Structure 1
């Protein structure tokens, strides 16, 4: 993994907490690299919306409840459109990638042998692979770029870490509905299924933000 990816993961998993100050000096010590790749990584993380600049250094961005709601509303609009386009424009290799990614997602969810943290990290990676495959199948580079900008932000709130088994199964069922709609080239159904899937994720995050217990 690059230094950028390592720091991003550290933010997403909570090693670097919201509001925490990050400096090139401290990060270079943390990751045992020079300041040059750290400086580049921080600029990319600023572009991603994960950190914000100070007079000296950066701090990990915090998100309000309204920020989260707006982010998920935007995700739903972009990702549902992308799923609809994937249903209409996918090629055979795109469909194979989507099916493979969802098969991996299912296997990961069903594997209870891993420790909780490792299992959830694997679920997040498999989920990302699935959604990326759907975006690519849209055959629209602009959609992919816009979604990539938005999608990372909600994972600050580590939504999968709050899913119980029922929640994971519901997520898998949603994926299967999306896959079936794409297979059938049913654009409207794919859009509706992805829209509901994203809003369900929003509900998990907002529930936790308000101090609720784990879902499922």
Structure 2
């Protein structure tokens, strides 16, 4: 078989643009409510406007951008949005964490220890935010139910639009790190009940700091 006969496995350009824009959003390269102009994005990514348009449509399906006034803008979450997202997280994440704790084997221990060590070593808001996302990505990736996994990742992408803002508060980082330690202990012990309880506490603690990020929305 020659090189020309082999199936090309390079991701389509639209997929590459989609992943690139998602990563830029996670890095807070765009502000909530900021308009995304196809031509500007195409120049920034050095591509044509067609894959940018396709990527924006997918991001809209993910709930990360919204169409408004003939254009596209980064989603601007409200307190009501956050309340709804965390209500779903409270229902889904504790039993999911329990499932993960039951399924982990010795081969997973090093990955969880490394993820926790990364969070403990973080010395900036950006470093801790990235470590927090990595730890979450690790345990969510161990969820056997792919639809549940996809659902949690979808909401995670949405709250990532404001997560770094909440972690500017040193107390929020301290509380989050303590939660990661407790979760890691439960996962490493294979303790499903403790993992569920710690996840419920982790979600509730996170919500308090997210809620504080929307003072103008509170009655």
Residue of structure 1 equivalent to 2:162: 157
Quick one: which of 80, 102, 111 aligns to 2:116?
102
Q: TM-score normalised to the size of structure 2?
A: 0.81
SS in 2 for 1:94: helix
Cα displacement (A) at 1:60: 1.9
CA distance in 2, matches of 1:98, 1:196: 19
What stretches of structure 1 move > 6 A for 4+ residues in a row?
A: none
Residue of structure 1 equivalent to 2:149: 144
Cα displacement (A) at 1:144: 1.5
Instruction: Report the count of equivalent residues.
Output: 203
Question: For residues 196-211 of structure 1, what are the structure 2 equivalents within 5 Å?
Answer: 196-210=201-215
With 191-200 and 11-20 compared, the bigger mean Cα shift is at 11-20
Cα displacement (A) at 1:162: 4.0
Mapped contact 1:159–1:201 kept (Cα < 8 A) = no
CA distance in 1, matches of 2:165, 2:76: 19
- Mapped pair 1:73 → 2:87: yes
Q: Where does the alignment leave 5 or more consecutive residues of structure 1 unmatched? A: 112-118, 212-216
SS in 1 for 2:121: helix
Structure possessing the higher radius of gyration over alpha carbons: 2
CA distance in 1, matches of 2:160, 2:52: 22
CA distance in 2, matches of 1:91, 1:42: 39
Mapped contact 1:159–1:204 kept (Cα < 8 A) = no
Q: TM-score normalised to the size of structure 1?
A: 0.82
CA distance in 2, matches of 1:92, 1:72: 31
- Mapped pair 1:93 → 2:107: yes
- Mapped pair 1:175 → 2:175: no
